[in-house]
Chain A
Amino acid sequence: MADVTLYHWEPNANSGKPMLALMEKGVAFNSHYLDLLNFDQHQPDYLKINPQGTIPAMTHGHLVLTESTAMMEYVDEAFDGPKLMPASPQDQWRIRWWMKFMDQWLGPSFSMFGWKFFVGPSARKRGEAELEAAINRIPLPERQVAWRKAIYGLFSDEEMAESGRRIGVGIKMLEAELSQRAWLASDQYSLADVNGFNLAYALPLSQPHLANDDLTPNIMRWLRAIYARPATKACWALGRTDMVKRVDILEQDYIPNKGAAA
């Protein structure tokens, strides 16, 4: 029995980050799957582990860690295995800059689309009384607001347009950065790549008019290189829903620019 337990949802976004980091390091861990769409993360058993009710959380012995990016830095420092941070302090700075940019600026714009078109509609299959009860169990007030917006489709056109703008800007920034280096933010595979892959792996599927082999060849090269790693394969095998199948698009050798998305 490993002394590490990871509480996670699908290998995607925040859950996928520590999953992939642990697998790259070769750290054995107990996988505790929580169904985000069933609100498992707001149930009393889990709130005993993480009172904020956010996913993921990790326990290492008696220690409890939350927040996926900070958790990844801990994983890299606390365990043996390949280093996922370069030795150069300047590279480390660049990696942290990109992770913050993705976590706090670009990622939330992607999630707004994900929540509007996927999480919200999935959750709405439940009855209103059940949904209200579920929302009221959410410990963080700002997460209540976010879930309410997602569940009832309350994102305004203006908010969606701003998120769309940011996705366009962010994809161009990623392409420019990856045209300068083999990996994101440094010359070696690092936490920035683990983070970025979890954010961007489905881009050629969800934003085919913005991310494809004609417009963003470096993003596509980078995504395929991460997809080819054994740890990535093992990580995505832990998914339980059709969501994980989105990564299959990276098996295609060439994805052309088909113009505006439908």
Chain B
Amino acid sequence: MTAHPNLTLYHGEPNGPSFTVLAALFETDVDADLVHIDLTHADRHGPNCERSVAVDMSIEGEGPVLVADGEPMADSVFIACYLDAIGTGTRLRPADPYARWQMMMFCRQTIERVAPAAAFLGCKAHLAGKLHAMIPGIFDGLAARIHSEDLRARWHDVRDGIFPQGQVDDSVTKIVQAVERVEAQLADKDWLMGDYTIADLESYAWLAGMVELVPQAFVNKPGTSGWMERLRARPAVQRALSAATVPDPRQVWAPGPEINRWG
């Protein structure tokens, strides 16, 4: 028996941050009650989910929520670190402090550069139409529940179809660069940091849906394609992907982190 608190995980489709946490949960062999919520319906901000300042103000945007001992926690990479610390299964962080620093640095680059770009392009392709088709009163009611003003503004932008070309181009560039970085890391190893870690989960989480939306980034990238296949073949990842309620969870996006305000 694992000695950890009773856990409940509120998660969306296994894509983006919900993928990272579902896969980390199964890799680390931690028990949690799973509650599927519709992140594209702002469920995270209503009665279907538990809330806290950390959930309301998480700059990750629409990520999963893990409740431990009554405390709702957000931010997928840090939840994955938590699961790694309490779990008994696969270790998802290196033990060596420098290797751990390298892993956290890789994750931070993904969080800061890749996630905003991927969420922006994903919402443009797969959420804007759905929100635009919503009856105004219904959308406004959902949006009004969102506590963070800047996250709420991102929802309104998606509904209103505000996707400035400069940000589209910049986001595509960021995805292209991210795949180049992944490909370079994999030149001489099977996993991004050598060992299989949270960096693999978090990078896959944001890039998997980009194969459809930014196909040019993946042309001639055998290392990246092979890595995605290897990752998907892992039993814990299979289990995470089987939590999907739609044919292709890589097409399900909700507003993510903001694009850097400093340009």
Contacts and interface: CB of A to CB of B under 8 A. Distances in A.
Interface residues of A, number: 36
Contacts of A252: none
Contacts of A118: none
B149 A78 contact: no
A252 B104 CA distance: 39
A83 to B, nearest CB: 13
A38 interface: no
A74 interface: yes
Interface in B48-82: 53-54, 57-59, 68-69, 71, 73-75, 78-79, 81-82
Contacts of A100: 59, 75, 78, 111
Contact of B81 (A96, A101, A162): A96
A73 B85 contact: no
A78 B263 contact: no
Given A78-B97, A101-B59, A92 B261 contact: no
B101 A73 contact: yes
B54 A173 contact: no
A116 interface: no
Given A70-B108, A73-B100, A90-B71, A101 B57 contact: yes
A67 interface: yes
A97 B54 contact: yes
Given A90-B82, A93-B79, A162 B262 contact: no
B100 A74 contact: yes
B262 A92 contact: no
A96 B75 contact: yes
B98 A173 contact: no
A93 B86 CA distance: 12
A97 B78 contact: yes
A73 B181 CA distance: 24
Interface residues of B, number: 33
Q: Pick the most buried of B59, B71, B73, B81: most chain A CB atoms within 10 A of its CB.
A: B59
B100 to A, nearest CB: 7
B168 interface: no
A94 B59 CA distance: 14
Nearest to B66: A93
Interface stretch (A142-150, A187-195, A205-213, A216-224): A142-150
Interface in B111-132: 111-112
Nearest to B78: A96
A60 B150 CA distance: 39
A70 B74 contact: no
A172 to B, nearest CB: 10
Interface string A79-121: 0000000000110111011001100110010001000000000
B97 A90 contact: no
Contact of A70 (B68, B81, B85, B104): B104
A157 to B, nearest CB: 14
Nearest to B107: A70
A146 B261 CA distance: 10
B57 A74 contact: no
Contacts of B149: 165, 169
A132 interface: no
Contacts of B79: 93
Nearest to A173: B53
B81 A145 contact: no
B260 interface: yes
Interface in B207-263: 260-263
Contacts of B5: 90
28 contacts: A60-B98, A65-B101, A67-B105, A70-B101, A70-B105, A71-B101, A73-B97, A77-B100, A78-B97, A89-B82, A90-B68, A92-B81, A93-B73, A94-B54, A96-B78, A97-B54, A97-B74, A97-B78, A101-B59, A105-B57, A105-B59, A112-B262, A142-B260, A142-B262, A149-B263, A162-B150, A166-B150, A173-B57
Interface of A: 60, 63, 65-67, 70-71, 73-74, 77-78, 89-90, 92-94, 96-97, 100-101, 104-105, 108, 112, 142, 145-146, 149, 159, 162, 165-166, 169, 173, 176-177
Given A70-B108, A100-B59, A105-B57, 11 more contacts: A65-B98, A89-B86, A93-B73, A96-B78, A97-B54, A100-B78, A101-B57, A142-B262, A145-B262, A146-B263, A177-B53
